[in-house]
Amino acid sequence: MFDFVEPLFNALPLVFELENLIGMVVGVTAGMIVGSLPGLTATLAIAVLIPLTFSLQPLVALGMMAGIYNGAMYGGAVPAILLKIPGTPPSIVTTFDGYPMGQQGRAAYALKIACWSSAIGGVISAISLMLFAPPLVKLTLLFGPAEYFWVAMFGLSSIAILLGKDPVKGIIAACLGLLFGTVGSDVVTGHQRLTWDFKYLIDGIDLLVILTGLYAIPPAIQMLEKAVLKGFTAASLKLNPEDSILNNLSSFIPVWLRGGIIGIIVGILPATGGSMAAFISYNETKRVSKEPQTFGEGNPLGVAAAECGNNADNAAAMIPALVLGVPGSGVAAVILAGLLVHGLQPGPSLFRDTPDIVYGFMWQMFFTSILLIAFGGQIAIRLFAQVMRLPQTLLAPMILCLTFVGIYSLGNNMFEVWLMFGFGLFGYVLNRLNFPLAPIVLGLILGGMAEHNLRLSLLLSQGDWGSLFQNRLSQILIVLTLTILSMPLLGMIRRKIKKQSTSER
Amino acid sequence: MLNQTPSLPQYPDKVSLFSTLRNFPMFSSYQKTEIVVCIFLLGCCLFAFISIRHLPTDAKMFPNLILAVMSLFVGVALIRAVMGISQKTQGAKAADWHFFANPKRFIISVIVFSIYLLSIESVGFFTSSGLLIICMATFVGYRNYLHLTLSLIGFLAFVYLVFILVFERPLPKEFFLAATDTCHIALVRYHV
């Protein structure tokens, strides 16, 4: 049961190697800066970073990604508190009480609460990752090809259905990802599929080309379209010294514990993400509070609940990603892509063959959360406030240049750069029509696994499609997948019944 | 740009095919874009079907499966777009929706970035990146040249330090350095 403890602690010295520490510090700082800039997300930062980490050791690269992930989730609170502009989507909840606190001259205190709450949420989440992922991965040893195929289908359908507003668009996006994944030589027969005799497509489309195109180009173009010529003024970002958290520790501890548990549960569920964790944590804190009317008026507990819930989702979202290859959130999907880029396949083999890396990554999620306290303090906040003065019209072309660096350095060929630009424009169109982008990435990641296991299952059963449905575990996964797929229909029926009963009254 | 929105169709509570057909010329820009994208995706599916039809059954089974599911759902999305159901799920956002926030800036950005990609291998990464940042920022109306210059120098120095010195990424060589190399080679050859 606890045989994971030894490899977990064996990985610890590696995390403290100088280059890994530098990687984490750079990641946290970069994440906080990116998160504090409205319009830039952790996903964008990681998408731009992954191609650049090729020459690095996997653990250093993962440390940077862990730092960016945790840093960006906290960084989003800075503009949310100072300007009522959420830096990242989950920090919308932080604006509810953070901004009123800022208006009352308590911005520094609100930022301090956000920093501590994010760090504590991240630490709780990292501990859950250490405790739950290793035992769960043993369950996957029971899986055969048919089960793996259904796991891929379950992961894809849950991300496709639950992530966006429109499930039909989510499924189309997932199919696009699966289709992009089939481009190139077929591994079994060697036939070229959808390559149209382009030699650069024979090996398939690089995951990073699609990832960078979809996640980095559309926001950069949108920034240029909006053409915000001015950054934020120094006066709007002014901070005053304030209260200490330690004086009010007793009131914060239950909020952090509640937010931490909510964040972990939400994180493990596929496709839910930090926004939902922050909302539920905030609502629960408000519900149990003796003074619910003070929420929304600048209650420090509101900031603590939102930020703790939001960051507690981070490492927990990596539990299904590391165990099954099914990420719990959009950012986790991109980190999963980062793992694959470094040749690390999620599942039992990851824990068996590269324990130092997988357990090292868990420690990195833990330590980067603690680093938030060290680097997210007053001096850093003042530094981010300065970065926020940089106008988006300057940031956008810089992002475009960085996308070029990332993709060109993959193989020194311009074809991939043009392909990335093409995917960027395609992503822009999809973005405008509210197609979720994460299912495309996940389809690309899970496509190979789904096809390989489907064909293997059919091969073992001599072409009998019934073999996909015979096993009890497969049947459970099929029921789960069908439940997810029928959720929009059930919702529609429920709405109709509700509407009918209202009109009858 | 947003103020030029034409009057949008008012959808009845019960969306019927009849009412949709009656409102045919009154599609909103959100619906029109969705319809165009759905038709484009259906075309892509058809093209992909044709492209893989010559493959052995084993190799084309999975792509065919995906294409079948995708065609089905794109068809559903197309019907939803025509009926205005998809727009309804987007709520108020779709009412004043336009494909481009600013078409002029979009086109300029795409053209400038395309020129950047076309010229980067012959001009060099740093020169063309410097020009890209200056051009894009100026085109969209940024006029604080001191701030622009300082940001540009800072960014290029950061890229040089991180990506050239630390990560040792191979980037297109600057044209003046390449010219110096060519001269050097020519001189060596001449001397030989």
| Residue A442 Cα distances to A70, A316, A337, angstroms | 21, 18, 8
Chain A residue numbers with beta carbons less than 8 Å from the beta carbon of B155 are 398, 401
* pLDDT, position A308: 93
> Dmax over Cα atoms in chain B, in whole Å?
87
SS3 A388: coil
Binding-face residues of A in 149-208 toward B, CB within 8 A = 165-166, 168-169, 171-172, 175-176, 178-179, 182, 186, 188-189, 191, 193-194, 196
Distance (Å, whole) CA A330 – CA A436:
10
The token duo for B114 is: 């395309």
Is A57 touching B (CB cutoff 8 A)? no
Q: pLDDT (tens digit, 9 = 90+) per residue, A168-178?
A: 999 999 999 99
Of the ranges A209-218, A422-431, A458-467, B19-28, which is most confident?
A422-431
Chain B residue numbers with beta carbons less than 8 Å from the beta carbon of A30 are none
- Single-letter residue type at A128: S
Q: Which of B90, B102, B117 sits opposite A434 (nearest CB)?
A: B90
Residues 6+ apart with CB under 8 A from A204: A181, A183, A184, A185
Is A55 touching B (CB cutoff 8 A)? yes
User: To the nearest whole percent, how much of chain B has pLDDT over 90?
Assistant: 41
User: To the nearest whole percent, how much of chain A has pLDDT over 90?
Assistant: 20
CA angle B163, B167, B168 (to 5 degrees): 85
Residues 6+ apart with CB under 8 A from A208: A50, A51, A337, A341, A406, A407, A410
Tell me if A332 sits within 8 A of A338, measured CB to CB.
no
Backbone φ and ψ of A253, nearest 5° = -55, -50
SS3 A24: helix
Residues 6+ apart with CB under 8 A from A108: A239, A240, A241, A242, A378, A381
- Tell me whether residue A219 is exposed, middle or buried, using C-beta atoms within 10 angstroms of its C-beta: 0 to 12, 13 to 18, 19 or more: buried
Tell me if A27 sits within 8 A of A368, measured CB to CB.
yes
- Single-letter residue type at A489: L
Is residue A82's pLDDT more than 90? Answer: no
Each domain of chain B, given as residue ranges in start order, spans 2-96, 103-191
Is A404 touching B (CB cutoff 8 A)? yes
Tell me if A503 is assigned to some domain: no
Distance (Å, whole) CA A3 – CA A504:
61
Tell me if A355 sits within 8 A of A119, measured CB to CB.
no
Residue A409 C-alpha, separation from nearest chain B C-alpha, in angstroms: 6
Least confident range from A37-41, A458-462, B72-76: namely: A37-41
Chain A residue numbers with beta carbons less than 8 Å from the beta carbon of B77 are 168-169, 172
The mean pLDDT value of chain B amounts to 82
Short-list A130, A126, A159, A133, CA closest to A311: A126
- Tell me whether residue B134 is exposed, middle or buried, using C-beta atoms within 10 angstroms of its C-beta: 0 to 12, 13 to 18, 19 or more: middle
* A107: containing domain: 5-498
Least confident range from A215-219, A373-377, A416-420, B44-48: namely: A373-377
Is A409 in Cβ contact with B169 (below 8 Å)?
yes
Q: What is the mean pLDDT of residues A447-464?
A: 88
User: To the nearest whole percent, how much of chain B has pLDDT over 70?
Assistant: 75
Chain B residue numbers with beta carbons less than 8 Å from the beta carbon of A442 are none
Q: What is the mean pLDDT of residues A230-257?
A: 72
Short-list A203, A197, A173, A207, CA closest to A426: A173
Q: Which of B63, B70, B155 sits opposite A398 (nearest CB)?
A: B155
Is residue A464's pLDDT more than 60? Answer: yes
| Residue A377 Cα distances to A32, A83, A119, A275, angstroms | 11, 18, 12, 24
Chain A residue numbers with beta carbons less than 8 Å from the beta carbon of B132 are 397, 400-401
* pLDDT, position B5: 45
SS3 readout for chain B? CHHHCCCCCCCCCCCCHHHHHHCHHHCCHHHHHHHHHHHHHHHHHHHHHHHHCCCCHHHHHHHHHHHHHHHHHHHHHHHHHHHCHHHHHCHHHHHHCCCCCCHHHHHHHHHHHHHHHHHHHHHCHHHHHHHHHHHHHHHCCCCCHHHHHHHHHHHHHHHHHHHHHHCCCCCCCCHHHHHHHHHHHHHHHHHC
Q: Which of A55, A189, A221 sits opposite B106 (nearest CB)?
A: A221
Number of domains in chain A: 1
SS3 A444: helix
The mean pLDDT value of chain A amounts to 84
* pLDDT, position B7: 47
Distance (Å, whole) CA A418 – CA A404:
9
Is B167 in Cβ contact with A224 (below 8 Å)?
no
Give the residue from chain A lying closest to B102, CA to CA. A225
Tell me if A90 sits within 8 A of A275, measured CB to CB.
yes
Short-list A390, A316, A278, CA closest to A136: A316
* pLDDT, position B3: 43
Is A393 in Cβ contact with B140 (below 8 Å)?
yes
Chain B residue numbers with beta carbons less than 8 Å from the beta carbon of A434 are 90
* pLDDT, position A390: 75
Q: pLDDT (tens digit, 9 = 90+) per residue, B13-45?
A: 555 555 555 555 567 888 889 999 999 999 999
The token duo for A502 is: 């209202």
The token duo for A17 is: 């190697």
Give the residue from chain A lying closest to B68, CA to CA. A175
Is B37 in Cβ contact with A429 (below 8 Å)?
yes
Is residue A434's pLDDT more than 90? Answer: no
In the Cβ-directed half-sphere of A290, how many Cα atoms lie within 13 Å? 1
Q: What is the mean pLDDT of residues A380-402?
A: 77
Chain B residue numbers with beta carbons less than 8 Å from the beta carbon of A179 are 48, 63, 66-67, 70
Q: pLDDT (tens digit, 9 = 90+) per residue, B161-185?
A: 877 887 677 888 888 876 676 666 6
How much is the ipTM here? 0.82
Is A188 in Cβ contact with B129 (below 8 Å)?
no
Is B106 in Cβ contact with A224 (below 8 Å)?
yes
Task: For helices A273-288 and A249-268, give the axis angle rounded to 10 degrees.
Answer: 140
Sign (positive or negative) of CA dihedral A452, A457, A459, A465? negative
Is A454 touching B (CB cutoff 8 A)? yes
* pLDDT, position B102: 87
Tell me if A89 is assigned to some domain: yes
Taking the alpha carbons at both ends of chain B, their separation in whole angstroms is: 66
Is residue A242's pLDDT more than 70? Answer: no
